[in-house]
Amino acid sequence: MLESIKSSKKTIGVRQSLKAVENGLAGTVYIAKDADEKVVRNIKDMCLSNQVQVVYIDSMKQLGKACGIEVGAAVACILK
């Protein structure tokens, strides 16, 4: 599952992913379980209201690595 993130068209980060969900471009949103709840609350709510699938990943470090970046990521989004 995480292997497909690296090769897919995606957004990384809360702001970019939130914009993708708002614009109807999001296919699946990945959220790190260890991300600060204040940071990810808006995107969780937006995904729920727009019926976008949310997948939880164990850590920000793991999600960042799956996205091909050197730092952790709280949120990533696979685009349609």
Give, in order, the Cα–Cα distances in Å from 8 to each of 17, 27, 28, 38, 39.
14, 11, 11, 27, 24
> Residues 47-66: pLDDT tens digits?
999 999 999 999 999 999 99
Predicted TM-score (pTM) of the model is 0.93
Q: What is the pLDDT of residue 1?
A: 66
Question: What sections of the chain are H helices per DSSP?
Answer: 3-7, 14-22, 37-50, 60-67
> Which residue do the tokens 């897919």 mark?
8
Residues spanned by the domain of 69: 3-79
What pLDDT, on the 0 to 100 scale, is given for residue 4?
Answer: 77
Q: What pLDDT shows up at residue 5?
A: 83
Q: Domain containing 58 — which CATH number?
A: 3.30.1330.30
- pLDDT of 12 reads 96
15 contacts 75 by C-beta, under 8 angstroms = no
Alpha-carbon span 26 to 53, nearest angstrom: 9
Quote the number of domains for the chain.
Answer: 1
